[in-house]
Amino acid sequence: MVFRAHYRVTSAILFLCCIIVTANNLIGEPIQCINDRGVPGHVINTYCWITYTFTLPHEQGKRVGTEVAHPGLGNENQDRTYHSYYQWVPFVLFFQGVLFYIPHWIWKNWEQGKVRMISEGMRGSLVGEKQEREYRQNRLVQYLIETMHLHNSYAFGYFLCEALNFINVVVNIFMTDKFLGGTFLTYGTDVVSFSNMNQENRTDPMVAVFPRVTKCTFHKFGPSGSIQKHDALCVLALNILNEKIYIFLWFWFIFLAVLSGLAIVYSMAVILLPNTRETILKRRFRFGAPNAVDTIIRKTQVGDFLLLHLLGQNTNQLVFGEIMDEFVRRLNFGSNSNLPSAPSTLEMSPIYPEIEKFKETET
């Protein structure tokens, strides 16, 4: 579930936001500036878009229409806050989407489809003849028995990618904060606090972080060769979209960081606490005789248990129970010499032709 939340849900959200912002830039007018007509409109628009605009932080919170014309605009003899991030928003969103997919890509190359191949033909509901199902299950159990204690590197890759998921979401939070000029870490809490403030005294933090009206200064030579300064007010309609995207991402990243942290705690409990593995078998997979569970906990290592855990997630609960019953029987009494030898994972996939051959020999 946590892996899917990273590579499937989060990547899809970021790529979708990237497409929306890019489409708005191409179809609409992301910035429109007005000046004293000393500079053509299309020139000032292009110049302010490819360079930067600015606001005045000391003018935030003042009454609009009486003290200031717009939030953050006023006397320029004060410190400025420059805004040039809006050009890079689509690229950063796309890059973040790729970052959230990388741990999954690493895991798929590490895992190499092992669970899919060894569980081939046993997913979903109970279908097919009993003879076929028993053959597949015996074949899988024999593989599990003969590869006991050989899956620890497999488990290491899984836990490493879980840790990368957590590191990745934390890095993305701080990277976004740096990208937005140090305003992202408290962005969500500021917005929540704003909604609870008095209507007359509050200043929208989304407007402070993503200003809708900014200033831009254009310099050019006049007829006499002197440098002329042209002030412009720029309307950033794109920021109406950006502020909504980033407030959603703030809450989503926080939720995902908490979820990923809990997943790491869960994995640590699986590694360090045998009681946790016992609880997983009994409550999650409803596999049940106490002696059987105790046998699995005592005779398997972390890598073996992880493989069983993933098998339980990818097979029907009743089928998984039958596999575990046979697995425990062989752990206690040894393998039957008449059963087929364990195949490699590469041999597990083409299982149906061998089933037909097995049926012919039986008849």
Domain limits of the chain?
2-362
357 pLDDT above the threshold of 50 = no
Distance CA 263, CA 10 (A): 16
Q: At what angle do helices 317-333 and 130-146 cross, to 10 degrees?
A: 50
Q: Report the share of the chain in percent with pLDDT over 90.
A: 22
Distance CA 280, CA 302 (A): 13
Structure token digits, residue 317: 């609960």
DSSP bridge pairs for 233: 34, 215
| Mean pLDDT score of the chain | 80
Where residue 172 falls (left for φ over 0; alpha for ψ -120 to 50; beta otherwise) is alpha
Of 13-27, 133-147, 217-231, the range with the lowest mean pLDDT is 217-231
pTM: 0.78
pLDDT in tens, 41-96: 788 888 888 888 888 877 776 777 667 767 777 776 667 888 888 889 999 999 99
pLDDT in tens, 88-137: 999 999 999 999 999 999 998 988 888 888 777 665 545 456 677 777 77
pLDDT in tens, 255-290: 999 999 999 998 888 888 888 887 887 777 777 666
Cα→Cα distances 308→69, 189, 270, Å: 66, 42, 13
